[in-house]
Amino acid sequence: MAVLADHYGRRFPYLRLSVTDACNFSCSYCLPNGYRAIPGLPPTLGAGEIERLLRAFAGVGMRKVRLTGGEPSLRKDLTTIIGLAAATPGVEKVALTTNGCLLRKRRAEWQAAGLTAINVSVDALDRERFARITGHDRLDDILRGLDEALVAGMPAVKVNAVLLRGLNDDQWPAWLDYLRDRSLSVRFIELMRTGTNLDYFQKHHYRADSLERLLQEAGWAAVPRATDAGPAREYTHPDYAGRIGIIAPYSRDFCAGCNRLRVTAAAIAVRWAG
C-alpha cells in the first residue's frame, strides 16, 4: 500500500481538516475583531467532496482525522461529515476541535455518528477572564458540556488553553483543582508570533518551558508519545485523574514530533477551482 511520507521519512497517519474558516467567537489572539468572510473565495467543500478526500487520504495511510475550523460546529452538516469520516475504510479515530458553543446541544448526536475524541478551547476557568479573552460569556455552559461528555463515555476529551501572560497565567491553581478528579487532558499551547500580532505577542507571550519547569517541580512526569499523537508533550501525576499536555512551538523538537497533515477545505476548493 502507498504511504504518505515526506523527505524526512515522517509518515502521516493523522489529518487535520479545516471544514470552515468561519467562527462565532472573537478570541483576542485569533480574531480580535470577529470573523469576516474574505470576499471572492469559492465555497468550502461539500460533505460529498470531503468524503472523497478522506477516502483518498485513508488510502495512503491516514488513520485519524481531526475536524477543525474556524468553528466546525457552525456547519449545519457537521454530524453528516463526522458520520462520513467514521465510515471511511481505514479511519479509526474521528476527532473534533471546537470552541464548545454547541457542545451541550450536539455532543450526543456527534458521538452517535462516530466521534471518538473532542478538544474544546477553554482559555481560563474564571468566567470574567474567559469572556474577556473570547468575547463570549459561555464558560459555565461549556464546562457543563465537558462534564457531560465525560459522563457519556466520550473516549478522549481534551481542553485547549493558550498561555497568555497577564490574561490567564494566574489560573494554574484553578487548573490543578479542575484536573484532580476529571479524566481528561488539558493542553497548554504557547502563543505563536504571526505577521500581524507582534504587539499582542510581545505583551502576552508566556513561555511554555516556564510552565513545564513548574510541572516537573510539582512532580508531574512526562509520558511516551503515541504514534498518532499530536505535538503535545504529555505529563501525568499520581494524585490527579487528568493529564497535562504542553504544545511548545518554539521548542527544539516540535517539528520532529509532528505527524499531522493540515488541509483546509477552502484551500482545496481554491486549487480545484483553479
Binding status of residue 157 toward ligand SF4 by CB under 6 A:
no
Q: Which of residues 186-225 bind ligand SF4 (CB under 6 A)?
A: none
Least CB distance to ligand SF4 at residue 44 (A): 14
Contact pattern for ligand SF4 over residues 29 through 58, marking x by CB under 6 A? -xx---------------------------
Show the binding pattern over residues 117-136: x = contacts ligand SF4 (CB under 6 A), - = does not.
Answer: ----x---------------
Q: Of the two residues 26 and 236, which places its CB atom closer to ligand SF4 in the complex? A: 26
Asked whether position 149 contacts ligand SF4 by CB under 6 A, the answer is no
Residue-wise burial string across 65-104, b where 16 or more C-beta atoms lie within 10 A, e elsewhere: bbbbbbbbbbbeebbbbbbbbbebeebebbbbbbbbbbbb
Report, in Å, the least distance between residue 69 CB and ligand SF4. 6
259 binds ligand SF4 (CB under 6 A): no
- Contacts with ligand SF4 by CB under 6 A lie at 23, 25-27, 30-31, 69-71, 99, 121
